[in-house]
Every structure is written in C-alpha cells, then in structure tokens.
Amino acid sequence: MPNQSHQSTNSELLSLLTDNYHMVGLPKEKAQRAKDLIANPQYSPRSCYLCPQESKQQSIYDTQLCQDHARKSLEENTQIR
C-alpha cells in the first residue's frame, strides 16, 4: 500500500501547483500544504524539464519540476486568498 500513498502525494502537489496557476493563488491552508510538500519532497527519477541541460536537477513527485522550480512556480502565482 505505500505506492498508493506515494501516488496520492504525487497527485496532490501537481494538483496544488495546477490550481495555483489557474486560480492565481490558493487558500492559505492549501498554499501551506504545497510549501510543506516542496520543503520535504520525494524525488523522482526524472529530471526537471526547466533546468538548463548542463545543470539538470532531479524532479520532485510527478511534477517534472525540481524543488527550486516548484518553489518558484508556487511563489510566482501565489496570492493567498
């Protein structure tokens, strides 16, 4: 059953980042949850698709973003509602 927990965590951060982008901000509780997931990530075997080729970082969860790009994505669009 650990895979199901990992899978739901994966989908949770991706969903939060997507909602943050489309809604231009998240409620305070959801924004904090996204920050917590980014701060304590599970790494994916994939590389971040936004990192320059010469300095590719490992992505987190199923976001295809490294920890820094996930954090920037959250901060750029976050207007806590």
The total of other beta-carbon atoms located within 10 Å of residue 35's CB is 16
Domain count along the chain: 1
Q: Which two tokens stand for residue 19?
A: 């909602």
Helices (H) and strands (E) in the chain, counts: 3, 2
CA-wise closest residue to 70 among 80, 59, 81: 59
Structure tokens at 78: 């976050």
User: pTM of the entire structure?
Assistant: 0.78
Confidence label for 15 from pLDDT (cuts 50, 70 and 90) = very high
Question: pLDDT tens-digit profile of 35-65?
Answer: 999 999 999 999 999 999 889 999 999 999 9
